[in-house]
Structure 1
Amino acid sequence: MKRPIEDEESSCAGAEPTESKQAKLASDSNNDAAVAATGNTRNCTINRRRGDVKKAILMLMYSGSGYYGMQRNTGFDTIEGALFDSLLAGGHITEEEYLSPGKLQFQRASKTDKGVSALAQVVSMKLNLSDADSLKADVNSRLPTQIRLLDVFRTTKNFNCKARVNHREYAYICPSYAFASKSRPIDITYRIDSTQLELLRSCLSRYKGTKNYYNFTSGRPPGDASCNRYIIDFTVGEPFEYRDAEFVELRVRGQSFMLHQIRKMVGLAIAIVKGYCRLEAMDAVFTYKRMDVPKAPGLGLLLNKINYGAYNEKYAAELGYSTVDWDRFEAERSEFKSSHILPEIYRGETDNRSMLEWLRTLTMHSYDFDRQDGPPTVFKQQQQQSEQPKQFEKDSQSEAASSEPNSAGALNTGS
């Protein structure tokens, strides 16, 4: 393996340290002495001499349950907040760097929203990598068990973990009863049949290619070119059983995604498979005219993989850097999914009835073009619904009496 090319200039051999370097050496010595005397690392800098600091890649996985997303947000528990707390407590970053991550050239590969988990997340920053294994072990010892640092290693000095991504893969795990026909009551004993599964695959295949996803996000004006996104594929695996319920896992790969995009893609697919609108609705939704598209719950959304194929080929293969390769940790990721992520999804469905409660709202959507930027009657319907007893079984049975889809693919639900 070739020796990695040095990213930072090395000082000349035998050169006398400048006054500033002498001051820094004295500061490091004082820090080491303070740690030895008190054992307190919070305000001390351990092994932070500039010659040892390099740009690093950190490969992470986490359960998003109980966290307000990935990005640091003062006053809220976030994944980045927990990571920075652990780095600071271990003396791997300074107080100043903790408060100003830009000094570390910090970057994240992807944002995840409140409650969203990840089996593959990457951040990059400048760290001391003189003993990367010890750094990894120390940080993991301080992190909650639902956040794990899989690996930390050196990369090029200009590496940007967000810009270098080739594509991202998200999974959406939900109970199969989400796709049951609206004409039948549903419960945890439901098992999806081949007809429903094939219709679901047909829906998901319509997302492939470059399309306008204006109707799958919010806060962007009509005609915004940034709503054009490229989807590589959108598939569904074979159903699987977890405890006493059957689940399906949908996987979507794309270059990038907008706020709420995947949840709305799943929401529209569920509405079509259940019979609230026709498959032809997907021919009209990719326009700059606002349509009413339901947004599926966030509980089952999972950042599954981040692909760095071009980086791995150019820098790992040619220059000897480690690869950002998730297959190296397949066993750890599979075990983490089974022990931390699937139990949270199951608990959310059985205790909080996340999907069941959301399915009840599907009758509130028009699945048609709105006269304004948003469904004009939804808020009134929500208010009326909140005043009624939440009896899911009766609501499910009454779904059969709902209006049939019209020829344009819209469900006429009235006011």
Structure 2
Amino acid sequence: MKFFNLRANHTDVRTEVLAGFTTFISMSYILFVQPAMLAQAGMDKGAVFTATAAVSIFGTLMMAFIANMPIAISTGMGINSAFVFSVVLQQGYSWQEALSAMLLAGLLYLIVVITPIRDWIINIFPNDLKSAISAGIGLLIATIGLTGSGLIVADPATFTTMGSLTSPQSLLTIAGVLITLALYYYRIPGAIFLGMMVTTILGLVTGLVHAPSQVVSSVPSLKPTFGVAFSHLPSVMNWHILPIVLTFFLVAFFDTTGTILGVQKQMGTDRDTNKSLIASALGNISAAIFGTSPATAFVESNAGVSAGGRTGLTSVVVAILFALSLFFSPLLTMITPQITASALIVVGVLMLGNLKDIDWNNFKIAASAFLIVLGMPLTHSISDGILLGGGVYLVLSALDWIKKQFTK
């Protein structure tokens, strides 16, 4: 264990293992939410399940051995909704082309973090707007949870309206959300995962969810998705794909940067952030190759840090647990939109906490942040939200500059 410098980091094997279990339990819901989400884009559930686990294993091990940080990498919430609803369903690209765009974004990510461009990108927007982007994504994925479960439905007169609150499916969704919120409120480790499990049990008892014929099986094949990103690269080599590539890159980059800095703050240390970003970039590239949506550093890593995790050994434990989970794919058949809704809505609530970091007394910041946060759920597009708010910020900044020139 000398590689991880446990003694120098004031930790031990037992603490690191416990922290790894804590992080895994906190984020393991992604194994079930991700296949259900990407299946809406026409992707094979089994392949996405395996790809998600594979990316989590590879990316998290990169974080362990390159950066020696207790941070887990997996397919990010929010950016997965952009992959499905914005790029595929709204803009009409195939999921294969979306993976190719992801591959380009991952390569761009790697180039940025190994060059001085990194610092310029980090500083292009103030921290307030980065917080607004996270909050907007939270509102978007909560909206997806509400509409996917039937609590919110389309209405020709008012755009959207409340769905039936008395249908069995809606009641299961409401129960799941309340259970998950209660677990999180009382700071139960793995609240989101446990909330999904309790909701699944309720679904089984009421007959809304059907149990699989087996729990353990062989690992689902990656054949439907593995390497597809390479074969479809020629079809995305045009300027029209640029906004999608930039969206995948910027969201993953800012999301990961924020998580890394947050973990470092909680640990009370200031390690080489760039090593963590390189590990994340490699995880992103692997996501495109394996065949799933972009990967980011998971904010749930903070749960493991709270349990005492201080080194990459925590990440190794997380990776091992993801490897073991590969044999439980039959459980996917029980995960309905009503069950994933609780995870999406609660994660959305947590991401909206970023609103507190915005300077609402600064009109330029407030107007830009408002349009970012509101634009994402209304357009079902992360890139459109960034374009709306970011465009206003650049225009108002230009007006500020002009004003200063005339008042010199």
**TM norm. shorter chain > 0.5:** no
> If the length of structure 1 is used for normalisation, what is the TM-score?
0.20
In terms of fraction of residues, the more strand-rich structure is: 1
Q: Which has the higher contact order (CA 8 A, sep 6+)?
A: 2
- The structure that is helix-richer by fraction is 2
* Higher gyration radius (CA): 1
